[in-house]
A and B are shown apart, each in its own frame.
Chain A
Amino acid sequence: MTPRQYEELTGLFHAAVDLPPNERGILLDSVADDELRRELKSLLLAQEKAQTKKPPDDIAAGLYLANRNGDAAVPSLTPQTRLDHYEILSLLGKGGMGEVYLAEDTRLHRNIALKILPAVVASNQDRMRRFEQEAQAAAALNHPHIAHIYEIGESGGTHFIAIEHIDGDTLRAKIHREKVSLEKLLKYLTQVAEGLNKAHAAGVVHRDLKPDNIMITRDDYAKILDFGLAKLIEPQTPVGSASGASGEAEDTITMHESMTGTVMGTSGYMSPEQAQGRVREIDQRSDIFSFGCILFEAVTKHKPFADESLIESLHKVIYEAAPPIKEFNPAAPSDLERIVRRCLEKDRKNRYQTIKEVAIDLTKLRRDLEGAAGFNIVTASLRNRESSNQLGAASTGNTEDASTTAPTSNAKYMFTRIQRHKFSALLVVAALIAVTVAVAYFGSTRRSASGSGASSILSIAVLPFVNESGNPDTEYLSDGITDSLINNLSQLPKLTVMSRNSVFRYKGKQQDARAVGRDLGVQAVLTGRLAQHGDDLAIRLELVNASDNSHIWGAQYNRKLSDLTALSGDISQAVTDNLRLKLSGAEKQQLTKRSTNNPDAYQAYLKGVYHSASFAPGGFEKAIEYFKRAIAIEPNYAQAYAGLANAYAELPFTDLPPQEASLKARPAAARALELDETIAEAHLAQAIIKLYYDRDWPAAERECRRAIELNPGDALPYQYYGWQLGLMGRFDESLTELKRAEILDPLSINVNVAIGSNYYWSGQYDRAVEQYQKVIEFDPKVGGLLRLNLGETYLQQHKFPEAIAEIKEAGQFGVIQTATLGYAYAVSGNRAEAQKVLAQLQALSSQKYVPPFTSALIYAGLGDKDRAFAWLEKANTERSVWLLWLKVDPKFDSLRSDPRFAEFMHRVGLPQ
């Protein structure tokens, strides 16, 4: 056949297929050329055959590879099949990763989900080994928002994973099928962020986060599935492949979806680095991108990078910005837009660096919206849109979940205020927002945990009990009982309890519960009055619903002083009962756990706590005395040892040479931990010891993390950890921790000062000044460290007179204040004054301990490097705690370029 003939044949063929089959015969008969007719006839026949085969697009689907390892099919299991001690009940579903069965754990008699790995996946030993490592890390994650992996096992050649069985819907169904309010969706996503945060902290990246991998349980909890499973289907990074020309091409490949037979990237939640196959670049920030895609979809019901074809969609992921949310939902708040944008940055360096920041921003947003009735706007507009556009799932404007502290005129005021002064909100406003955030964060995310519906109260402020006897000597009792109650209650993950700093501001002031509730953003307020007559104690308590000042519960406790040890446990239990919190057995036990049974020891301990919290001159010394007394009475009093360790650990900043403090703090902390490893405070003391005296940064970090783990509702561990990260120059991480502390304890001066320091160390002097000024505006009387910090920040801005004024304002801050003043004189050109301060300090050192660091500081200011280094050496000989600042403090910038500096830092054991 010639091309010409073929062309003719083609024309006839098309003409024939356009005809109905029964009329084709006429056309065939009209073809005069015999050969052509025969050809046409057989072609038409072939066309029918070809038609009945696979649709054409499937032909392109691929070519089967040789089967080297026998049958690659997934084993299909029938009910009652046993795998180890699991008995198959039914098939739950089939996915890219094989089949999932509902099964019974016959040992523990509970239902679980059993994921069967396809044999082809399991047969790659290398891959399995890597997967098992990953799965082990994932299995170690214990978090309410992560589906628990119970076991990875193998039975008769079948590899399986036993996972917590979750009865509920996928997030996809919640977004698209069910009528779920945006508020609720954001709540789920906040929970997802918390779960991710836990995983990321443990070094586990999900890699395949999508709404199908998130389950919402029947009692409204989000749970992330399939951590680390993506690794199974992801290609390994080629090791030492030397053949290629382009290095970039060599280490990147994405065939993972194609391997499982689904099309690459269908999920539409992949990050640009994953879409481009840059396996080595996948990290927690890739999950943050996926999270942003889900957030986008929750708000708009659309995927951000959707397109007709896969390649278009991937192209969008890599190169194009997601459309504005407002395009789909005009009423969407700009803050939400901003959060989504930051998650969806193409370059992972521009994204949120940690999911924790996302969680914080989300909770803030949720709270703001709630306060400004923003949810109503958002949901209403979505509803409108849906009625006209059939947009799928609608929000119901469901307010069942809304916090009862919601819209008040005050909250609205705050909201508009923030809008107007985004970057200069006063601390008061910031603090109030932060408190309310805390409620949104802990309150609403934990709401479902109580299982007792909308009526349970999940946040509380325990106001300092009023000491009715008016005798200052019994103040320790009213304060102490308040303190122990706060401590007891804050151990309950379900309940948000205002931290001590925030509630003690109300001490001695007449308070209206509703006003307090509004200011602190809590749902309930507990007040108490304590009267002591000799050995008799009378405590009257009132629990008030802050939303309407209604009385929830009241009681009077008449006790002997000797019954004191059980008192706070009893009260805590009564309070939680009346808040209608359902507690687990372990929680109840924890709540009523007594630190000691000896009332005298307990009283001494309370006095110790009272004095160490007073921050009055000599407070630590007094505290030490009482803690020692408590220990003398009760030698196994773990809490008292922890208090003692902390008090000692704080001393070297003032009057005690470091080694001496170390000698005393160390055994106290060790003893406390030996007696009870679960005391967060003892771990903090240990962290300080590790940092101050051992310069063992990783160990100090571990201790901080452990303290956070043990008491996640307490601001102090976050504050310490944030501060420590700042000293190491890890400013972003530091800020995240400090913000966490701020949420929990918004009125804390220390937390706010630490945030200012973070800005100062990272060279953001304007922000630092702004931060310090906010604190001063909030509490004009504040002095000490804050003034000192503000002064040194002014120095960096070359505002010398202001700087010197602030440093003088710092008041009783000991020799370090004097030295900073000397430094300020030196750098502002007043060398004579600086020399004078030097002489003063040296004279003083003959009378009492003066840290050599102080002289080093002034010499650094004077530019006398030799002497500065000489004094630094001296400071290092006694392991001065002040050297910990060296890496980040700009006051030493004049020495930094000197080769001796790096060498010195190294010897001191500062992180490089």
Chain B
Amino acid sequence: MSASHSVTKLLEQWNSGDAEALDKLMPLIYEELRKMARRYMRQQNSGHTLQTTALIHEAYLRMVKLKEKHFENRAHFFGVAAQAMRHILVDYARQRHTAKRGGGVRPISLEEAAIVSQERAAELVAFDEALKELEALSTRQSRVVELRYFGGLSIEETAKVLSVSPETVMRDWNMAKSWLHRALKPGE
């Protein structure tokens, strides 16, 4: 079975209440996104913005073959992809960060490292740490950030994924942003 078939199927299973489907989805989407990001890097020169949103859009178009527009499926896909994207970027950032300091946790290729710039690597690692702290305080708020930031989802889409109202998402987003800002820029 091709990746696209299984992703479509798993999304449908998850949608009809099969929680295990999510566990199988995650690695598939993660792998695909990672591969795409790497290939993208191989092909590009530096100085570009890696649009995580565009990357996820494309992964979706490639992996999910749904003739009907099925908003739930899509929202779920994006939800998973946003999380996967976060892991990918943070992994790279962390590796780059440690590589710079002479640490060699595990060898990474140049193009993988280049996905996250030196300057942004530290920022991203810190951001991830702060987001983890937030998660301990409010899982939903951290999810909102993940979906909006790494998945590029709109307020409405985020609301759909989390099964809450858009107003709630807006409030969560406002609060989480303020909290993260304070955590990352304590001096300001």
- List residues of A whose CB falls within 8 A of some B CB: 1-3, 6-7, 10, 13-14, 17, 42-47, 49-50, 53, 56-57, 59-69, 72, 120-121, 123-124, 235-236, 238, 241, 243-246, 248-249, 252-255, 257-259, 261, 263-264, 275-277, 309-312, 314-315, 318-320
Contact = CB atoms under 8 A, between A and B. Distances in A.
Given A64-B117, A253-B40, A264 B58 contact: yes
A45 B45 CA distance: 40
Interface in B146-183: 148-152, 154, 171, 173-175, 177-179, 181-182
**Chain B binding site: helix, strand, loop or mixed by DSSP?**
helix
B181 A64 contact: no
A810 to B, nearest CB: 55
Interface size class of B (residues with CB under 8 A): 35 or more
B4 A49 contact: no
B55 A63 contact: no
Contacts of A261: 48-49
A717 B124 CA distance: 67
Contact of A249 (B32, B43, B54, B154): B32
Contact of A66 (B39, B118, B124): B118
Nearest to B118: A66
B16 interface: no
B51 A314 contact: no
Contact of B178 (A13, A63, A246): A13
A314 B54 CA distance: 12
Given A63-B115, A65-B117, A253-B43, 7 more contacts: A57-B154, A64-B119, A65-B48, A66-B118, A248-B2, A249-B35, A315-B69
Given A66-B114, A241-B39, A276-B61, A120 B47 contact: yes
A61 B55 CA distance: 11
A7 B138 CA distance: 8
Given A14-B175, A246-B3, A275-B61, A62 B51 contact: yes
Given A3-B137, A60-B149, A63-B89, A258 B55 contact: yes
A123 B45 contact: yes
Contact of A68 (B40, B45, B149, B185): B45
Contact of B49 (A57, A63, A235): A63
A56 B175 CA distance: 12
A66 B137 contact: no
A49 B184 CA distance: 12
Contacts of A263: 51, 54
B87 interface: no
Nearest to A45: B182
A121 B43 CA distance: 11
A874 to B, nearest CB: 56
Nearest to A260: B48
A123 B117 CA distance: 19
Contacts of A6: 137-138
B20 interface: no
A241 B43 CA distance: 12
A253 B174 CA distance: 35
A62 B46 contact: no
Contacts of B42: 238
Contacts of B118: 66
Contacts of A258: 49-51, 54-55
A45 B178 CA distance: 8
A72 B46 contact: yes
B116 A1 contact: no
A3 B136 contact: yes
A66 B46 contact: yes
13 contacts: A14-B174, A49-B185, A56-B148, A60-B52, A60-B53, A62-B51, A65-B46, A65-B116, A66-B46, A241-B39, A263-B54, A264-B54, A264-B57
